[in-house]
Structure 1
C-alpha cells in the first residue's frame, strides 16, 4: 500500500513514526520552516526532523491550492491513501481526490466537538473531563468529514497541553495503525456523517487568549493555565512586567482579593474572583523560571503585591 503522510507538530510525528515502523511512507508533506523565538531562529518542526532523520522524501509547500508542483508530485506517486495529522491547512479538492482510499485524518477531539487548530488547548481551557481522537475521511471543510471511528480517554486534573498531546498522539498512532491494518485486509471501510447540531470550534490559540482575568473562578484560571502550557503560556502583569504562569494548584485560602498575592507558609497564593490558587511555576519577563517560593523571596520587600 502506497502511503503519503501530512503533518507538522509533535502530535503528528509520533503517528508518522508508527506508520514508518510498519509501512513504506512514500512522501512526507509538512509546513514550511518558520522563524521562532526572539532570535527568529529556524527550527525544524517535529515531522520534518523525523523525516530527515529517517531519510524519508520530504515536501514543504507554501500553499496547497493551485500548487501544481505538489499536485503533480502526488499524482506521480499515485498513493493508495494519504494520512493526515495536524497538518495545519485545509486540503483542496484536487488533493483530496488523488488517493484511491481518500485522505484520512487523525483529529485530537471527539468530533464534531472542537473542530479546528487547537482542540487539545480548548478542551483543557473549558474544563472537559474527557476527550479523544477521531479518525475521519476528509472533505473540503474544516474537520467536517465523515467519521470512521472515535476513541475516548479521560482528562486528568493536572494534565496540561503537553501531557495531553502525548497521550492523544499515542492513542492516535495505535488506532490509525489498526485502521491501516484493517484497510489492507478488507480494502474498504465504513463511515458516518457528523451531527452538525453538536459541532463546536477550537480556533488557533493566540497570546490574547492567554491573558489571566483574576476576577474569574480559581478553577477557570487553573484550566486556562493548563490549556496554555507550553504555548502561548498564560500570563499576567506584575509591576508593569509580563509574568508567565506555567503551573498552579487549587487552594482553599479565603478573604484574598482577586490578583492579590500572599505568603502562606512559604507558598505563593493568588486570590481569584472565587477561591484561590497556589502558583507552582512562574517566570518574570527575561528571567528564568522560578518556583512559587523563589518568586516570593524576590518580592518580600513589596508591601501589597498584586497581579493585574
Structure 2
C-alpha cells in the first residue's frame, strides 16, 4: 500500500515479472481539504497500465473470488495492512511472499521500522517470508541485515525499501528455478511491533536521554515526538544527547539552546515544529518564542 512497496514493484517489472493486479487499501482523506486520494501504489499501477483494486477487506466472498480468478503464480505483499484470509494465502501457485522491514522474529507487526529505532537497536534489516495464517510468523526465505546508525525512521524506511526491492527480485528468481530453502522462524527472540499510539509520541523526561533520542529518531519525520510548553505542543524532529549536571530535575531547560534534563543526561533538540508551522531549527524557533533556562516542560 504505501511508498515502501514502490521500489519492489518497479524492480519486479524491470526484472521481467508480469503484475496481474495491484491491491491497495481504499483511498483516504488527505491534505487540508481532506479529499480522498489514491495511494502511491494505485497511481503507479495506473502509470504502468496495471489493473488495481482497493477493497476494504479481502474476507468478502466476492473479493476473494476476484483474487482467485487472477490465478497468480505468486503474490508479493509489502506493508499492505489487511488480513489475508486462508483462501487468498493458498491461491497463488507459489504462495504469498511478504517483504517485512525487520529481522524476524524480532518486530513482527505493523511498525517494525519505528519500533527498532525507538528500542535503540543497532541493526535491523529485511526479511522475505512465506506467509502463513499467523502475524509475520511464516518461514524465512531470505534475510539481509543493515546497521541503523543515526538514521531516523524516514531515512531507514528508504534504505530498507531499496534493499527489499533487490531481495524480492533475487528471491523470485530462486523460486522460479526451484532453488529456494525455507527456514522456520525461531520463537526465541520474537517481539511485537505494535501500531504507534499517542502515548508513544510524548517525551517522558524521566527516561534516560539516550532512549529519548532514539524515540525522536524513531518518530521522525512523522508523527513526531513532542513536549508541551505554555499549552502548546512542540514536535522534536531531531535531537542530540548531551551531558547534564548532577541533581538536575528531569524536564527542566538547562540553557538558552533548549537543552533539557532527563533521568540521566540531557537532550538538545536541533529541529522542531510548532502547531501549523513548518519544521525549523531550534534556534530559529526560539528567536520567535524564547524558552528561558529554568522552564519546566511537559
**Common fold by TM > 0.5:** yes
Contact 1:212 1:236 in 2 (8 A): yes
**TM-score scaled to structure 1, two decimals?**
0.91
Q: Is 1:213 aligned to residue 207 of structure 2?
A: no
Q: Which residue of 2 aligns with 1:298?
A: 288
SS at match of 1:42: strand
Q: Is 1:153 aligned to residue 143 of structure 2?
A: no
Structure 2: distance between partners of 1:280 and 1:41: 33
Q: Which residue of 2 aligns with 1:180?
A: 172
Q: Which residue of 1 aligns with 2:3?
A: 10
Q: Is 1:283 aligned to residue 273 of structure 2?
A: yes
Structure 2: distance between partners of 1:12 and 1:52: 15
* Structure 2 unaligned residues grouped into runs of 5+: none
Structure 1: distance between partners of 2:236 and 2:270: 8
1:165 alignment partner, one of 157, 162, 170: 157
CA distance 1:176–1:303, shift in 2 (3 Å): closer
Structure 1: distance between partners of 2:144 and 2:123: 11
> Which runs of structure 1 show a deviation greater than 4 angstroms over 4 or more consecutive aligned residues?
none
Contact 1:254 1:276 in 2 (8 A): no
Q: Which residue of 2 aligns with 1:5?
A: none
SS at match of 1:25: coil
Q: Which residue of 2 aligns with 1:245?
A: 236
Deviation at 1:303, TM superposition (A): 6.7
Deviation at 1:39, TM superposition (A): 4.1
* Structure 1 unaligned residues grouped into runs of 5+: 1-7
Structure 1: distance between partners of 2:273 and 2:295: 16
Q: Which residue of 1 aligns with 2:22?
A: 28
Q: Which residue of 2 aligns with 1:131?
A: 124
Q: How many residues align?
A: 296
Deviation at 1:224, TM superposition (A): 0.6
SS at match of 2:133: coil
Structure 1: distance between partners of 2:80 and 2:92: 17
1:3-22 Cα offsets, whole Å, 9 max, x none, are: xxxxx111111111111222
Deviation at 1:56, TM superposition (A): 1.4
Q: Which residue of 2 aligns with 1:54?
A: 48
Q: Which moved more, 1:123-132 or 1:222-231?
A: 222-231
Contact 2:252 2:293 in 1 (8 A): no
CA distance 1:241–1:300, shift in 2 (3 Å): closer
The Cα RMSD (Å) is 1.7
Q: Is 1:118 aligned to residue 111 of structure 2?
A: yes
CA distance 1:301–1:111, shift in 2 (3 Å): closer
**TM-score scaled to structure 2, two decimals?**
0.94
